[in-house]
């Protein structure tokens, strides 16, 4: 069987120098029926390796589950990499960042507030050990010396930017070794002196994460690691987007020139990302460096392969650079254009008309957080009676992340975490008070990882605590089953939320589609029961990517949950993605 190890200056495959030319491709952000296509296109760009994170929270939605089926079949993904004649790098964390909800850490892990985060704390480490045992049951048999593709496994992720608990890092190494991983282990940190010192582990190979000034940063990496191969294991070729901000791109020429600098220096590289994919469902994370910024559904990342897996100008430029140093296969054929079509939405079912159809009520004396509810739902309706004379002031300890307030089922206002809003005036202090609370994505970087969601610290009316709450958790993993029959009710104009709508459309054969949400407010979309993710009228994302394997030949169904208001209740599929576009 092949042997992969670290030499004095190079990675060595069967004793011969081997340059790792890798691209990040997250299996959990790509429909599984498209894995082989994306892997093949990465190979045709000239890469010999595929890298992926492993999202703990996706595999383990509860403490007793570990899902390795469908789009979470890591073993199948790695075997497809091998079938393509490529190698694999796996980064199981347990923390991955990745602009992924909670940085990959399960929300249930922190129901006990004493649980540590990314440090030597026994509750945290007990759960981590079990997680690494389960994930390495998949990875260990697929190591290169056992006939599989895996050549490197990473420990933690950019730990030097977070902490300096060396015992914690060494414990992760021990857990990894105990689970049967014998290929070389790596760390990654930005080539900043204090980060590299804090994140290093004796005996584990160091790599860097950066996207510019490559010669300077390779020199810093070499200063901290005098021997062994140089590797940029996160070569940033784009960036991610937040709702309400601009769409990030990097000039093709600049990225290609930096890649050339890396390869001319003899370094190995992992392009982050060769293909970003999509935060399907409600999996995108958020940033909070004083202002909360939720990440958009698209993870296009301005990568060489766009969100729909189509080669871009950056793809062809990178291919030309790689060809200067290594042979490259034939380029992939052009992708067929996506079809366009339009169909009206109808069948409105408003939440307040029959909330029992959306879920089951629970009663709580005091206001619960979303994390206090089974499954930590992303959306919940909270209801109580208020009786105060005249106008009143409603207050919450903290809103995480968006609270829409209704009095007698009529909208009063919305409180946003990003605006640090916690109080709202009510024209009347008497009636049925409802609050629709939404988790818009858990912070994935920094000290706010692991924080609970919902309305934190209770509620008050004119400073007096509000008690006696009825709570309706709303499961968004699939459309709420609110339609009792097939009766169709057309819409004749704009519609106010919260409301569920649906439409049908027909195609002669499956195809990739781009759903244009222009004229819509804020909400979630499912097609044939598959959750495409969130939309919002804010920039920069206007289209949702619909993978061809989700589409059926013949009839298909779109379901839309509109939380605000929809000015144009029509489904438009357009031929191109619209990221950073605001005009019709």
This prediction's pTM: 0.97
pLDDT in tens, 232-280: 999 999 999 999 999 999 999 999 999 999 999 999 999 999 999 999 9
Burial 224-251 (b: 16+ CB within 10 A, else e): bbeebbbbbbbbbbbebbbbeeebbebe
Q: For residue 258, what are the contacts with CB-CB under 8 A and spacing of at least 6? A: 211, 212, 214, 235
Q: Tell the burial category of 122 from Cβ atoms under 10 Å away from its Cβ (0-12, 13-18, 19+).
A: exposed
Question: Dihedrals φ, ψ of 487, to 5°?
Answer: -60, 135
Question: Cα–Cα distance between 210 and 228 in angstroms, integer?
Answer: 19
Return the pLDDT at 554.
97
Stretch 17-36: mean pLDDT, rounded? 98
- Which one is catalytic: 99, 156, 158, 562? 158
pLDDT at 583 over 70: no
**Cis status, amide bond into 212, omega within 30 of 0:** no
Q: Which of 51, 234, 307, 438 is catalytic?
A: 234
pLDDT in tens, 178-212: 999 999 999 999 999 999 999 999 999 999 999 99
Residue 582 has pLDDT above 60, yes or no: no
Place of tokens 């499956």: 510
237's torsion region: left (phi>0), alpha (psi -120 to 50) or beta?
alpha
Distance in angstroms (rounded) separating the CA atoms of residues 80 and 305: 18
The Cα 20–Cα 267 span in angstroms is: 8
Give the whole-angstrom CA distance, residue 451 versus residue 556.
38
> Could you confirm whether 158 is annotated as catalytic?
yes
234 catalytic residue (yes or no): yes
Per residue in 68-106, pLDDT (tens digit) is: 999 999 999 999 999 999 999 999 999 999 999 999 999
């Amino acid at each position: 069987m092949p042997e992969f190890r670290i030499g004095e200056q190079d990675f060595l495959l069967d004793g011969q120098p081997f340059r790792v030319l890798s691209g990040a491709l997250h299996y959990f952000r790509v429909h599984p029926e498209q894995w082989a296509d994306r892997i093949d296109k990465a190979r045709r760009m000239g890469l010999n390796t595929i890298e992926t994170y492993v999202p703990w929270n996706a595999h383990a939605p509860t403490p007793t589950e570990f899902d390795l089926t469908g789009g979470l079949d890591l073993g199948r993904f790695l075997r497809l990499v091998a079938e393509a004649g490529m190698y694999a790098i796996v980064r199981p964390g347990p923390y991955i960042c990745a602009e992924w909800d909670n940085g990959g850490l399960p929300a249930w892990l922190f129901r006990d507030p004493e649980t540590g985060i990314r440090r030597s704390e026994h509750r945290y480490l007990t759960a981590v050990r079990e997680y690494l045992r389960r994930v390495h049951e998949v990875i260990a048999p697929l190591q290169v010396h056992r006939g599989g593709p895996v050549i490197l496994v990473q420990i933690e992720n950019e730990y030097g930017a977070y902490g300096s608990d060396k015992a914690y890092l060494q414990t992760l190494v021990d857990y990894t070794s105990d689970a049967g991983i014998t290929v070389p282990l790596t760390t990654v940190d930005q080539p900043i002196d204090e980060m590299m010192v804090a994140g290093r582990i004796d005996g584990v190979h160091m790599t860097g994460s950066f996207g510019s000034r490559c010669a300077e940063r390779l020199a810093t990496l070499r200063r901290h690691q005098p021997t062994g191969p140089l590797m940029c294991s996160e070569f940033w070729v784009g960036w991610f987007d937040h709702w309400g901000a601009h769409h990030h791109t990097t000039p093709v020429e600049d990225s290609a020139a930096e890649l050339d600098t890396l390869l001319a220096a003899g370094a190995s590289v992992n392009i982050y990302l060769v293909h970003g994919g999509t935060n399907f469902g409600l999996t995108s994370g958020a940033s909070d460096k004083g202002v909360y910024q939720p990440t958009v559904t698209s993870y296009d990342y301005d990568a060489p392969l766009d969100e729909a897996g189509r080669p871009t100008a950056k793809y062809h430029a990178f291919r030309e650079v790689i060809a200067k140093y290594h042979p490259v296969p034939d380029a992939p054929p052009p992708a067929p254009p996506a079809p366009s079509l339009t169909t009206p939405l109808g069948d409105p079912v408003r939440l307040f008309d029959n909330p029992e159809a959306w879920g089951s009520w629970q009663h709580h004396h005091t206001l619960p957080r979303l994390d206090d509810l089974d499954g930590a739902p992303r959306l919940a309706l909270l209801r109580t009676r208020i009786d105060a004379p005249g106008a009143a002031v409603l207050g919450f300890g903290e809103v995480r992340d968006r609270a829409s307030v209704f009095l007698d089922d009529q909208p009063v206002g919305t409180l946003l975490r990003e605006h640090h809003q916690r109080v709202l005036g009510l024209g009347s202090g008497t009636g049925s008070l409802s609050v629709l609370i939404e988790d818009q994505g858990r912070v994935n970087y920094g000290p706010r990882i692991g924080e609970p969601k919902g309305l934190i610290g209770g509620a008050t009316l004119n400073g007096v605590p509000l008690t006696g709450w009825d709570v309706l958790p709303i499961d968004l993993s699939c459309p709420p089953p609110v339609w009792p029959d097939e009766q169709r009710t057309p819409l004749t104009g704009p519609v106010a939320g919260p409301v569920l709508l649906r439409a049908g459309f027909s195609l002669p054969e499956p195809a990739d589609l781009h759903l244009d949400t222009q004229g819509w407010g804020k909400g979630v979309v499912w097609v044939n029961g598959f959750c495409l993710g969130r939309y919002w009228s804010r920039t920069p994302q206007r289209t949702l990517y619909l993978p061809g394997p989700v589409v059926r030949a013949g009839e298909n169904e779109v379901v839309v949950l509109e939380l605000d208001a929809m000015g144009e209740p029509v489904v438009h599929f357009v031929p191109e993605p619209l990221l950073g576009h605001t005009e019709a």
